[in-house]
Amino acid sequence: MPRTVVTGGVRSGKSTYAERLLAGEPAVTYVAPGPVPDPAVDPEWAARVAAHQARRSGGWITVETADVATAVRAARTPVLIDCLGTWVTRTIDELGTWDVPRAEWVGDFLTRLDDLVDAWAGSDQSLVAVTNEVGWGVVPSYPSGRVFADLLGRTNQAIAAVSDRLVLMVAGRPLEVR
């Protein structure tokens, strides 16, 4: 089954394009690894999540979890992960490592990443993962920004290495990279 990574900048059309790739499927497992929205805490995030939910077909099953590897292994339908950037954020949150030197915890992150890559490579379902390109700008001046950029870059490379297609979204237009 094909494994596709859809990447690009913020608001480049990644999610909409990824959803269209699976639009003809009667059922899709939509894995949402980001934080569960709370309109009282972050109304903007809640509105983004609601917009994504409104676009989904009624046959799509939403799984909200940071354990993306388990969700991929359990899926009996095509899978859409949206997105790896929110998975990295939530994983760092769970590990409590935003302010801890990376040498003390990066191994725990890489263990989770290896598990995700194994699940991705071993699935017999069609898979689509949305992710962000954050390495095209300046290096963040704060440690947590550098940690995020480094780990997302590593995540993107690992998933892309075991994927069949890589699509770069630019201004709503897909560019086939591989």
What tokens does 53 get?
């939910």
Is 78 an annotated catalytic residue? no
d(CA 125, CA 78): 5
> In terms of DSSP H, where are the helices of the chain?
14-21, 43-55, 68-74, 84-95, 106-122, 143-161
Sheet-wide strand order for 173-176 = 60-64, 28-32, 79-82, 127-130, 3-8, 165-170, 173-176
Annotated catalytic residue within 48, 52, 73, 102: 52
Which residues are part of the catalytic machinery? 52
